[in-house]
A and B are shown apart, each in its own frame.
Chain A
Amino acid sequence: MATFLLVLKIIAIVIVVFFALTFTVYIFNLDMKLTAAIEPILLKHYDKIDRDQHL
Chain B
Amino acid sequence: MKDLKHLIFFENLLLEANNELIRQAQADSKVCVAYTCENTPEPLLNLGGCFSARLRAPRTGSLDISTYYMTSFLCEYSRALLERAIEGGFNFADCIITPDGCSMMNRCIENMELLKTMGKGKENFFFQYMEIPMKADDNGLNLYVLQCQNHILKPLHEHYGIDISDAAIRQAVKEHNHICELIRAIGDYRKEEKPRITGYEFAVITLSTYVAPKYLLVDKLEETLEELKTREPDEKSKFRARVLVAGSEVDDTDFIKLIEDCGAYVCADRFCYGSLPGRNPIVLNDEEDALTQICRAYMNKGECPRFMNTDKMDHRRIYIDELAREYKADGIIYQQMKFCDPWAYEKMMGSNILRDKYGYPVLAVDRPYSIGVSGQMQTRVQAFVESIEIKKIQRGAVNG
Contact = CB atoms under 8 A, between A and B. Distances in A.
Q: Do A and B touch (CB < 8 Å)?
A: yes
A54 B349 CA distance: 10
Nearest to B351: A55
Contacts of A54: 352, 356
B130 to A, nearest CB: 32
Interface in B329-356: 348-349, 352-353, 356
Nearest to B352: A55
Interface string B338-378: 00000000001100110010000000000000000000000
Nearest to A55: B352
Contacts of A55: 348-349, 352-353
A9 to B, nearest CB: 67
Contacts of B352: 54-55
Please classify the interface of chain A as helix (H, G, I), strand (E, B), loop, or mixed, using the class held by over half of its residues: loop
Nearest to B353: A55
Interface string A19-43: 0000000000000000000000000
A55 B313 CA distance: 14
B355 to A, nearest CB: 11
A55 B350 CA distance: 10
Contacts of B356: 54
A25 to B, nearest CB: 46
Contacts of B348: 55
Contacts of B353: 55
A54 B348 CA distance: 11
A55 B356 CA distance: 10
A55 B348 CA distance: 9
A29 to B, nearest CB: 39
A24 B285 CA distance: 82
A50 B44 CA distance: 55
Interface in B111-139: none
A55 B364 CA distance: 16
A42 B352 CA distance: 31
B317 to A, nearest CB: 11
B359 to A, nearest CB: 16
A55 B345 CA distance: 11
B393 to A, nearest CB: 29
A41 to B, nearest CB: 33
A45 to B, nearest CB: 28
A54 to B, nearest CB: 8
B201 to A, nearest CB: 36
A18 to B, nearest CB: 53
A31 B349 CA distance: 43
Nearest to B349: A55
A31 B271 CA distance: 56
B345 to A, nearest CB: 10
A54 B356 CA distance: 10
A51 B353 CA distance: 19
B193 to A, nearest CB: 34
A55 B353 CA distance: 8
A41 B312 CA distance: 44
A55 B349 CA distance: 7
A19 B349 CA distance: 56
A54 B352 CA distance: 9
A39 B255 CA distance: 49
A55 to B, nearest CB: 5
Nearest to B348: A55
B222 to A, nearest CB: 45
6 contacts: A54-B352, A54-B356, A55-B348, A55-B349, A55-B352, A55-B353
Interface of A: 54-55
Please name the 3 residue pairs, one residue from A and one from B, whose CB atoms are nearest each other, closest first. A55-B352, A55-B349, A55-B353
